[in-house]
Structure 1
Amino acid sequence: MNAQPAFPTTVDLVPGANTGRIVFGADTLAGDGVALAVPAALLAGPAGGVAVARLSPAAAVVESDGFRCLADGELLFGVSSIDETGTGDGLGVTTELAYRRLFTTMAALGYPVLVRVWNYLAGINRQEEGVERYRRFNRGRQRAFAAAGQALTGRVPAACALGVPAGPLRIAFLASRRPMLPLENPRQISAYHYPDDYGAYSPTFSRAALLQAGACENLFISGTAAIVGHRSCYTGDVVAQAEETVANLLAVIAGANLLLDRAAFAARQLDYVVYLRHAGDLPPVRALLLARLGVSPERLVFVAADVCRAELLIEIEAGGRVEARGRA
């Protein structure tokens, strides 16, 4: 992990009892809300965290199998962290345990559909006994999905996995009582169909997920990078990678609108978290994204974090919601 600006150890949660948040630049959180603290430097954005899940005002805080959750009868947002256990394949074992607990929590509280997952782990590109840690993570995740009877392809959640300097595996998730629609990107091979070059256990996620909740249609776009087909593009050139990443984001947004049969989502109306391997890349990347996405600056949050492939310098996730129309 590259050197990062210093950040506070503890951050006070901002009010918002029915909002699930991810707070970057913190090891721990103080307050009664439900949020995930992620020790990756916040380069630009709100210190109070990124709102990734909005539940109804009736949401209540519940605890289940190591997860602290918000539940409102329709949506479930939960967070947890777990130290790596054992030796050798410690991260794989820890990941499998964490996801088994996640699925147990969903079942116990009655939210059967996993919609979106955020994963943050130490040393994501580091080799351990000749195996990259991200591949160990994928192994544990896929084993837990299989053990829980979850699909390994097709109807799988949107997700991201980023590297942080140190600490436990940290997970946030959103589950639902309604079905979600997974989306893929015609410019890319589905991650769960990657060839064995990327590991014996493919990443278990879709490129995005559409979910109708309450009166809103919600779009969750997974962590997206400069990958075409299954290959990384423009090694060493962060601006070219950012441009290719935008092309992938726009393709996913177009796919969501096609599924909904209307121009529901526009790039300029979404919120973005931009993960940069090198903090010094912020100025040129921010300028490009403001121009290409047409967004106002407050919709862009920048975080220093490592991406799942060592040659990738940038990853972007996005989300937004609009009024729902005519979908059961």
Structure 2
Amino acid sequence: MNRLQRLHPCPTRPSSIEQVLGGSAIADAQGAPDWPEQTLHMTGFDAPWREAWGVAGDIDAGQHGDVLWRANQEVMFALVELEEPSGSTAKGAGEALRALTERAYGQLFDLMATQGTPHLWRVWNYLPDINAEADGLERYRWFNLGRHQAYDARGTAVAQHAPAASALGSAGGPLSIACLAGRHPPRAIENPRQVSAYHYPDQYGPRPPVFARAVLAGDMGQPTLFVSGTASIVGHETVHAGDVLAQCAETARNLNAVFAEASHAGGGHHYLAHQAEHRVYVRHSNDVAAVRAFLTDALQGAPLALVQADVCRQDLLVEVESVANPAR
């Protein structure tokens, strides 16, 4: 296949050979690109940045319902953004978020089937007030319920089709879901230090999250490693509540475990956390300097992009997602 490439930083109109499928940008990034772009309604702590995913050769583009998409014959980027009909904590807002999430994922799944890219590789989910309560349940749990119901409606076995994914709280904006999907299935990677997310017990909500800890996807001769949002969780429980540096250390241990598992599964390829690029979500802005210093050391100077965001559990203070090519 035409190799998928991460373009970062990315100008609004790349002059290289890549055709851009889609991407994301922090809210204060300048210019409007010619492709679907997921806006992160978050405070960034580095220069305004934009990233995108590109391939060589011709691509098609279109809209399916609420979903904007661009694709070649092997991989598709899709973006759906839906405004909630009422305030995030108003009466009925929880059920509204559940229905909106099911609608968004349902449209994505229908598009993937018609485009011949039926396999989710990577998903980025953002929603305002992720930890707030609505109708007696945390909004993240309403989101998980709607996502799971979209899988159920299509008879999709979650454990066999879980992508790499992240879900973070934004400072406003719509429910925003972007994804990369492919013609060929990814290879899921789990972390032996953690319970698979789709097997979490019901103390985390009526339906569990849907994601693998990482996936290997794309050109399987040289696959890209997509690492899901990774935090200070051992088994299924948060550890080091209230201690941001201890959470950073545990997160780094989990990242290294995932990279090691990916290397074992990588068909002779090895993946190293210090050769990856990382997006770091920090709950409290006054922790940014300490988090940056710790992770710069722990990840041996790997590129970091830090933003302020609410993590999906209230007791988690930091989360890291990563993308890596085979080690050089």
Q: Which residue of 2 aligns with 1:50?
A: 51
Query: In the alignment, residue 32 of structure 1 is paired with which amino acid?
Result: D
1:306 to 303, 307, 310: 310
Moved more, 117-126 or 145-154: 145-154
CA contact (8 A) 2:216 2:266 kept: no
- CA shift, 1:214, in A, is 7.2
Q: CA deviation at 1:282?
A: 1.3
Partner SS state of residue 45, structure 2? strand
Instruction: Tell me the distance in 1 between the aligned counterparts of 2:220 and 2:166.
Output: 25
TM-score between the two structures when normalised by the length of structure 1? 0.89
Secondary structure, counterpart of 2:42 in structure 1: coil
Match of 2:124 among 111, 118, 122: 118
Cα displacement (A) at 1:200: 1.3
What is the CA deviation profile of residues 307-327 of structure 1, one whole-angstrom value per residue up to 9, with x for unaligned ones? Answer: 000010101000022399xxx
What is the distance in 1 between the residues matched to 2:11 and 2:130? 27
Inter-CA distance 268–57: structure 2 relative to 1 (3 Å threshold) = farther
Q: C-alpha separation between the residues in 2 aligned to 1:183 and 1:29?
A: 36
1:26 Cα shift? 4.6
1:272 is aligned with what amino acid?
A: H
Q: CA deviation at 1:183?
A: 0.9
* Percent identical: 39
Contact 1:184 1:207 (8 Å CA) reproduced: yes
Partner of 1:14: 12
Residue 18 of structure 1: how far off its partner (Å): 1.7
| 1:261 Cα offset (Å) | 4.6
Match of 1:251 in 2: 257
- The one-letter amino acid of 2:13's match is P
1:92 Cα deviation from its structure 2 partner: 0.5
Unaligned runs of 5+ in 2: 1-9, 87-91
Match in the other structure for 1:107? 113
Indicate the larger mover: 261-270 or 241-250.
261-270
Partner residue, 1:24: 26
Residue 295 of structure 1 and its aligned partner are, at CA, apart by 2.7
SS in 1 for 2:22: strand
Q: TM-score, normalised by structure 2?
A: 0.89
Q: Which amino acid aligns with 2:204?
A: Y
Unaligned segments of structure 1, at least 5 residues:
1-11
Segments ≥4 residues shifted beyond 6 Å: none
The one-character-per-residue Cα deviations of 1:244-301 (angstroms, maximum 9, x if unpaired) are 00100100000000012535211111110000001121111111111111134xx210
**What CA distance in whole angstroms lies between the structure 1 residues aligned with 2:49 and 2:292?**
21
Change (3 A) 1:28 1:172: farther
Whole-Å separation in 2 of the counterparts to 1:215 and 1:60 = 25
Tell whether 2:149 aligns with 1:143. Answer: yes
Change (3 A) 1:83 1:188: same
- 1:8 matched residue in structure 2: none
Equivalence for 1:315: 319
1:85 and 1:93 in contact (8 A); partners too: no
**Is the 1:206–1:222 Cα contact (8 Å) retained in structure 2?**
yes
Count of residues paired in the alignment: 309
Tell me which of 270, 278, 292 is aligned to 2:276.
Answer: 270
- Partner of 2:166, secondary structure, is strand
Say if 1:48 and 1:286 are closer, same or farther in 2 by CA, change over 3 A: closer
| Alpha-carbon distance in structure 2 between the residues aligned to 1:56 and 1:248 | 34
- Does the alignment pair 1:232 with 2:234? no
> RMSD in angstroms over aligned alpha carbons?
2.1
Give 2:22's aligned amino acid.
G
* Cα gap change, 1:177 to 1:290, in 2 (>3 Å): same
SS in 1 for 2:126: strand
3-state SS of paired residue (2:179): strand
Q: Quote the Cα distance in structure 2 between the aligned partners of 1:49 and 1:288.
A: 24
Q: Are residues 1:172 and 2:173 paired? A: no
Quote the Cα distance in structure 2 between the aligned partners of 1:154 and 1:231: 23
CA–CA separation in structure 2 for the residues paired with 1:85 and 1:215: 45
